[in-house]
Amino acid sequence: MSDTLTAASPTLVAARAALKRYYGYDQFRPMQADIIEHILAGNDTVVLMPTGGGKSVCFQIPAVVSAGTCVVVSPLIALMKDQVEALKGNGIAAAYINSSVGSAEANEIAKAALSGHLKLLYVSPEKLLSQGFLQFLGRVNISLFAIDEAHCISSWGHDFRPEYTQLRLLRQTFPSTPIVALTATADRLTQRDILTQLEMREPKVFLSSFDRPNINLIVRPGQDRIGAILDFIARRPTEAGIIYCLSRKTCEAVALKLQQKGIRAAHYHAGLTPVQRAKAQEAFLQDDMQVIVATIAFGMGIDKSNVRWVMHYNLPKNIEGYYQEIGRAGRDGTPATALLFYSFADVMSMREMVTSDVPPKQAELNLAKLERMQQFAEAATCRRKILLHYFSESLPADCGNCDICRSPPTTFDGTELAQKALSAVARARERLSLSLCIDVLRGMRNQAVISGGYDQLKTYGAGRDLPYLDWYSYLHQLLNEGLFYIAYEEGYALKITARGQEVLKGQRPVPLKKFQLAEKAEKLPRGRKAAAAAPAAGTAETQLFEHLRQLRKAIADEAGVPPYVVFTDASLLEMAAEQPTSRVAMLSISGVGMKKFETYGELFIEAILQHGTPRAVPAADGNADADDFGPAPRSAAQKTADRGVNESEQASFDLHLQGLSPEQIAQQRNLAQSTVLVHLERAYGKGLPLRVTDFISETDRANIRAARAQLGGSPPLRDLFDHLREQYDYFRLRLAALADHRAA
């Protein structure tokens, strides 16, 4: 990209310092710097970047380094909340106003905006256009308008929001305030609508590459999908993922199958009540639910950066949709997987779906798009090249991170196989569908074969030496080679082309790519419960990662934020590899900014130290307490006599003795309340006289003790929490355990 960074203007210098200070990142990604520079110069800007490309930074950094408030228009309430939480977690003053915010709170926020303290104010379009709100904004010093999900402005696109079309009021009311519009949808018509409807002035359009190189692209045949899914998850027992299905019924059935294998999975579709949906989504964000099985309805409003994989149980209807959905994996930039199941039956039902109840022209377009999707699924060349080509981008070399690149198919002379297939088709007088053709070749005795009399053909059973999936692959290759075509209007019967006739007559050789199953790798021993499988008994590094993940989860639960808001997977992986144990080292981890360091740095450094040195208590394989980052790791530390109370714990504890509540302590010390709770708990664990009854009564303690006994003495904290119907938070549960332990 350009060299703007080396010839840094003062504003970019400030922007870069802010990136480090607030986000803990050393560098802008390609394009971010150019975009920010353009915005800071007061220009209108359009940003087209794929999901996970880093759009937020493009308006948040200008907001941080400019005087005044950046007003962000965003259509998704859940996303707003997430973004504001993430900003606050980074030490940036931000708030949102939408229908979920009460008037008292909204007034507070308005005051903060008027005083100029607020750097970012998120609003829904409805709120923005509501009575008096624009007038109110007239009194705020606005640095920038950011229109997120800007494609919603276009009636052409799939997420059209009528309110968005009124956003031209912004330009009319605030003629001199710059506007930036951001979206992950890059098509030309949408672009044009954004530019004209927002009445942008000499805007510059930044179109970034849509490549997501960290996503491993895999396609496999749609046979035994459930088995393949269970295998896949068993090898990733802690990684979160989404499975997209076409119908609600399939969603429910797949989720149920996973649950039966002990996997924490939930279904999600438009037939659920809003409360049910919110609950499933919340659990997923919080890392309490590993898998969501969803119709396409799921995912629009989520920002979870540690979705590690996305599967398509059914073929999506076009590449745009597919790409948008797989884009929800690996937003943190670390390795992720997209697995697509491909079956011809899906193509057939999809063809019906996309052509029924639409005008002929639209049907034609839909079919053309579906065919491109099918070509992608059947490809024998680098899949990423095909995808990017679809978005008018080219990749200089094969990607090295798709199933085709990873195990390139070998070629063999398939002339004889092709002749067998063609001859079966011809002898059946071109009435065989693809799957029936395979049945005939393999000599199956099912209803369709018998009733058609195909078991009498000379070619019946001529290909019984090959498994179904192999034939399936070869027939598709022959189709793609143009040896026959499918007559959709005749029950999908295969018809031989002139080219196919040449092959039958032995006038044309047919090279074929040997069929191999992607992702078949190491099968787990049968009967082993997938979710119970421990993380790959790995290196010290993966163990430390797991340890840090649990710490993150505990902190997140207490603070009521999703774990990835505490730190991304990318940051934890780097911590596990670098093992930072000093302030400087911790601050050099990507994603650890000043505020994050102040809030959590110490806890993570301590966890790393604790993990690195041999522990006094041998239980320490890091997995025993899988769902229970309870007292276990820390009580191990407590027993090492030399471990005293550290300064920060002492400071929190002293304030507690003075009668301050954790909330007040947090405020006074400028720490997260969750950190204060950890301090208090540790101080208590290390022998200081905490007033336990401030937090939990004797009756409560007895209740908890009884529940523990019922669950067998030392149940995972999560089970205890559920058993007690979420009556006590984790902090209180742990405190009760510590108190009993000390009393014993």
Whether the Cβ atoms of residue 573 and residue 579 lie closer than 8 Å to each other: no
Element (H, E) at 204: strand 204-207
Element (H, E) at 325: helix 319-326
Q: 29, 168, 261, 643: which one contacts ligand ADP (CB under 6 A)?
A: 29
487 DSSP 8-state letter: E
From the list Zn ion, ligand ADP, none, partner contacted by residue 318 (C-beta under 5 to 8 A by kind): none
Give dist(CA 696, CA 716) in Å, integer: 20
Residue 598 token pair: 């102040």
Min dist CB 334 to ligand ADP, Å, is 10
Element (H, E) at 502: helix 498-504
Give dist(CA 221, CA 228) in Å, integer: 10
From the list Zn ion, ligand ADP, none, partner contacted by residue 405 (C-beta under 5 to 8 A by kind): Zn ion
Q: Contact between 54 and ligand ADP (CB under 6 A)? A: yes
The CA-atom distances, in angstroms, between 726 and each of 23, 340, 548, 723, 732 are 34, 38, 25, 7, 11
Whether the Cβ atoms of residue 622 and residue 546 lie closer than 8 Å to each other: yes
Task: Give whichever of 332 and 346 is closer to ligand ADP, judged by the CB atom.
Answer: 332
From the list ligand ADP, Zn ion, none, partner contacted by residue 402 (C-beta under 5 to 8 A by kind): Zn ion
Q: 15, 46, 52, 503: which one contacts ligand ADP (CB under 6 A)?
A: 52
Q: Which residue has the tokens 């409003």?
A: 301
Q: Contact between 49 and ligand ADP (CB under 6 A)? A: yes
Q: At how many degrees (to 10) do helices 673-685 and 730-743 cross? A: 10
From the list Zn ion, ligand ADP, none, partner contacted by residue 382 (C-beta under 5 to 8 A by kind): Zn ion
Number of helices followed by number of strands (H, E) in the chain: 35, 17
Q: Contact between 568 and ligand ADP (CB under 6 A)? A: yes
Residues that bind Zn ion (CB under 5 A): 382, 384, 398-399, 402, 405
Min dist CB 599 to Zn ion, Å, is 41
From the list ligand ADP, Zn ion, none, partner contacted by residue 384 (C-beta under 5 to 8 A by kind): Zn ion
Give the x-and-dash track for 270-309 against ligand ADP (CB under 6 A): -----------------------------------x----
Q: Contact between 562 and ligand ADP (CB under 6 A)? A: no
Give dist(CA 180, CA 184) in Å, integer: 14
Only one of the segments 25-33, 210-218, 256-264, 707-715 lies at the binding site for ligand ADP (rule: CB under 6 A); that segment is 25-33
Only one of the segments 54-62, 398-406, 411-419, 443-451 lies at the binding site for ligand ADP (rule: CB under 6 A); that segment is 54-62
Q: For every residue of 642-655, which 3-state class applies, written as one string?
A: CCCCCHHHHHHHHH
Q: Contact between 586 and ligand ADP (CB under 6 A)? A: no
Closest C-alpha to 295, from 320, 317, 319, 275: 317
Min dist CB 241 to ligand ADP, Å, is 18
Residue 585 token pair: 């080292």
From the list ligand ADP, Zn ion, none, partner contacted by residue 49 (C-beta under 5 to 8 A by kind): ligand ADP
Task: Give whichever of 56 and 185 is closer to ligand ADP, judged by the CB atom.
Answer: 56
Q: Contact between 208 and ligand ADP (CB under 6 A)? A: no
From the list Zn ion, ligand ADP, none, partner contacted by residue 703 (C-beta under 5 to 8 A by kind): none
Q: Contact between 545 and ligand ADP (CB under 6 A)? A: no
| φ, ψ (nearest 5 deg) of residue 87 | -65, -45
Q: Contact between 51 and ligand ADP (CB under 6 A)? A: yes
Give dist(CA 734, CA 650) in Å, integer: 19
Give dist(CA 623, CA 177) in Å, integer: 54
From the list ligand ADP, Zn ion, none, partner contacted by residue 149 (C-beta under 5 to 8 A by kind): none
Q: Which residue has the tokens 């130290």?
A: 609
Q: 53, 330, 463, 601: which one contacts ligand ADP (CB under 6 A)?
A: 53
Give dist(CA 294, CA 538) in Å, integer: 32
Q: Contact between 122 and ligand ADP (CB under 6 A)? A: no
Q: Contact between 22 and ligand ADP (CB under 6 A)? A: no
Task: Give whichever of 329 and 576 is closer to ligand ADP, judged by the CB atom.
Answer: 329
Binding site for ligand ADP (CB under 6 A): 25, 27-29, 32, 49, 51-57, 305, 331-333, 568, 590
